[in-house]
Amino acid sequence: MLETYYDNLINKDLFRDEQEVLAKRLVDIEARLAVAEEEFEIVKKHLEDTLELIGNCHKAYKSAPDSVRRSFNQAFFEKVYVSPNKTDGTKVVISADLHEPFLTLTKSHDLFQDRGFSHGHLVGAVGFEPTTNWL
């Protein structure tokens, strides 16, 4: 467009009008980019928090009070399959179906067995869900 102006193929007024339109579009694009960058940072923070929770879920679960443990269970797992222990009758988790995004994240990073989701880490002598005192 600048070459067209310099070659006198468009007049000064049309050139100025086009510059104003382009400047307004640039301001709009910059504002939309700023919003997208803010949203990206929020999503990135949630993803980092989720990955950290997955990587340290056994430690967080063990150190949490019963009410939080129950919330962890409900957040992570869609279904948990348990079976009685043949030696003492306590319940042992044999497998679990994860909720999203944990299912996708554990599949893509192979965390299910390596980072605290194996049944040896999930269930203690009391069972899968902590006892509730308020019922």
Tell me the pLDDT tens digit for each residue of 18-55. Answer: 899 999 999 999 999 999 999 999 999 988 887 777 77
Q: Over the stretch 62-72, which tens digit does the pLDDT of each residue have?
A: 888 988 888 88
pLDDT value at residue 34: 96
Here the tokens at position 29 are: 């694009």
Domain ranges, ordered by start, for the chain: 2-52, 65-122
DSSP 8-state secondary structure symbol assigned to residue 115: T
Q: Over the stretch 118-130, which tens digit does the pLDDT of each residue have?
A: 444 444 445 555 5
CA distance 23 to 29: 10
| Helix (H), strand (E) at residue 10 | none
CA dihedral 67, 91, 102, 52 (to 10 degrees): 60
